[in-house]
């Protein structure tokens, strides 16, 4: 079975990651430098596609590129316990849940402020402006 030999555009289509972003991942060392064709074009194999798809999926899950670096290096040590992976994902879930709580508090506050508007007011007696100017909202 011969390798497919993908160009960067193919890789982009198959992974859903933009061409420029693939090159960016290469410059920061998240993707290894691929072979080059005689014309200088990058030439990728299936392994590169899989790595990129893994990265893409991690991004969709909200992991940072640094976290992904860790996940990738862990995932390559096939003999190790998967406990560390578990810890990373659990911690990330925790962060996401905290972020949700913060945004929900924020949405409540915005709804409250918005409900103050009587619609026919001028700025000078706008209750929204008053509400924003006059109160202290719990900081992060």
Partner DNA sequence: GTAATGTCTATAGTCACTATAGGGTCAAGG
Partner DNA sequence: CCTTGACCCTATAGTGACTATAGACATTAC
Q: Interface with DNA by CB under 7 A: which residues?
A: 7-10, 12, 18-21, 23-24, 36-42, 59, 64-66
From the list a second copy, DNA, none, pick the one residue 49 interacts with, judged by a Cβ distance below 5 to 8 Å according to partner type.
none
From the list DNA, a second copy, none, pick the one residue 21 interacts with, judged by a Cβ distance below 5 to 8 Å according to partner type.
DNA
- Smallest distance, DNA to C-beta of residue 139, A: 11
Q: Are 92 and 61 in contact (CB under 8 A)?
A: yes
Residue count of the chain: 140
Which residues are CB-contacts of 18 (< 8 A; sequence separation ≥ 6)?
A: 12
Which residues are CB-contacts of 45 (< 8 A; sequence separation ≥ 6)?
A: 3, 4, 5, 6
Give whichever of 4 and 117 is closer to DNA, judged by the CB atom: 4
Q: Determine the Cα angle at 73 with ends 70 and 77, to 5°.
A: 135
- Smallest distance, DNA to C-beta of residue 58, A: 9
Backbone dihedral angles phi then psi of residue 102, each to the nearest 5 degrees: -65, -45
Binding site for a second copy (CB under 8 A): 16, 50, 53-54, 57-58, 60-62, 71, 74-83, 85-86, 89-90, 92-93, 96-97, 99-100, 103-104, 106-107, 109-111, 113-114, 117, 119-124, 126, 128-129, 132-133, 135-140
């Amino acid at each position: 079975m011969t390798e497919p030999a993908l160009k960067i555009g193919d890789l982009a289509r198959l992974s859903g990651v933009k061409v420029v972003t693939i090159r960016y991942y290469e410059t920061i060392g998240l993707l290894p430098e691929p072979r080059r064709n005689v014309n200088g074009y990058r030439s990728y194999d299936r392994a590169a596609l899989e790595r990129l798809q893994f990265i893409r999926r991690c991004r969709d899950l909200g992991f940072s590129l640094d976290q992904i670096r860790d996940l990738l290096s862990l995932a390559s040590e096939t003999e190790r316990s998967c406990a560390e992976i578990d810890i990373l994902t659990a911690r990330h879930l925790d962060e996401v849940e905290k972020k949700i709580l913060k945004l929900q508090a924020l949405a409540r506050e915005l709804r409250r402020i918005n409900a103050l508007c009587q619609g026919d007011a001028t700025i000078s007696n706008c209750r929204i402006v008053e509400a924003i100017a006059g109160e202290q909202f719990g900081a992060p």
